[in-house]
Amino acid sequence: MKIVLIHGQNHQGSSYHIGRIIAEKVGAKNEISEFFLPRDLAHFCLGCYQCVEEEQHCPFYKEKNKIMSEVEKADLLILTTPTYCLRASAPMKTFIDLTFTYWMNHKPRAVMFQKKAVVVSTAAGTGTKSAIKDITTALTYWGIPNIERYGISVQAMNWKQVSPNKKLKIDKETTALANKAKYKKAKVGIKTKAIFYMMRFMQKKDWSASPMEKDYWKEQGWLDKERPWKNKKVSPH
C-alpha cells in the first residue's frame, strides 16, 4: 500500500508522530512518502485562477505538482496538523487553497474516488475537532470516500512531554484506526455521489468558474454516462 503523509508543520511534534505511527502500522517504511508544510510548498494562493484555465499555469505548479503527483499515486493519504487557535495550521490551509481545482466543483480527479484518508490533529488543550473538519471538508470535495479521523488532547507542548499513559492510549487507538485504514475498502457513498451530481448539474447549467471546467467534465465523460468512481480516467497535470 502506497502511503503519502502531508504534515501541516515543519517540526516533528505530536501530530507528526501520530501520523508516522499510523503510517507504519499500515504499511512498510519504504512505501511511505512524506511532505512538510511550508517547507515543501511555501506559497499562498494568489486567486489568479490560472490553474482553472490550465494546471501548469499556476505560478507554484512545480512545487505543488511534486506533492500532488505522489498524492494521485497513493492508496492512503494521511494529513496531520497541530491545532492552532482552534483550527488547522496556516500552512495546511494554504495547501488546501492551492489545490482547489481538485474539488468537485472544479476539475476533480477520478483517482481520488478510489482512495482512503486519515486526518490527524493534536492540541495541548481543545480544538482538534474543528481543525480536522477543515481538512476533511477538502478531502470530501476531492471525492475521497473513506476518511478516518483522529484528534486528541495531548496536554503537552511537544511529543517528549506526552505522558506514558497518554502514549499507551494513542498506541491502542491508532492500532484500531490503522486496521480500518488498511482493510476497509474505499467505497463511494451517498454523500460523495450527492455532491458530485450537484456539481454535475452546475456544469451542465454553465454555472462554473470557467468554460474550461465544463470542457474538462465533457472530456471525462461525466456529463454523459461515465462516473469517476467507475473509471480511473484522469487528466494529466
Residue 79 contacts residue 135 (beta carbons within 8 Å) = yes
Residue 32 has pLDDT above 50, yes or no: yes
Confidence of residue 28 (pLDDT cuts 50, 70, 90): confident
Q: What is the mean pLDDT of residues 162-190?
A: 96
pTM: 0.95
**Please, what's the b/e burial string for 62-77 (b: 16 or more CB within 10 A of its CB; e: otherwise)?**
ebbeebbebbbebbbb
Res. 104 pLDDT band, cuts 50 70 90: very high
Is the pLDDT score of 237 beyond 80? no
pLDDT in tens, 48-66: 999 999 999 999 999 999 9
**In the prediction, which pLDDT does 233 show?**
46
Asked if 34 and 63 touch (Cβ cutoff 8 Å), the reply is no
- Residues 10-21 have a mean pLDDT of 98
Full set of structural domains in the chain with CATH: 3-220 (3.40.50.360)
Q: Which strands sit side by side in the sheet containing 3-7, from one edge to the other?
A: 32-36, 3-7, 76-82, 116-123, 146-153
Residue from 195, 208, 231, 201 nearest 53 by CA: 208
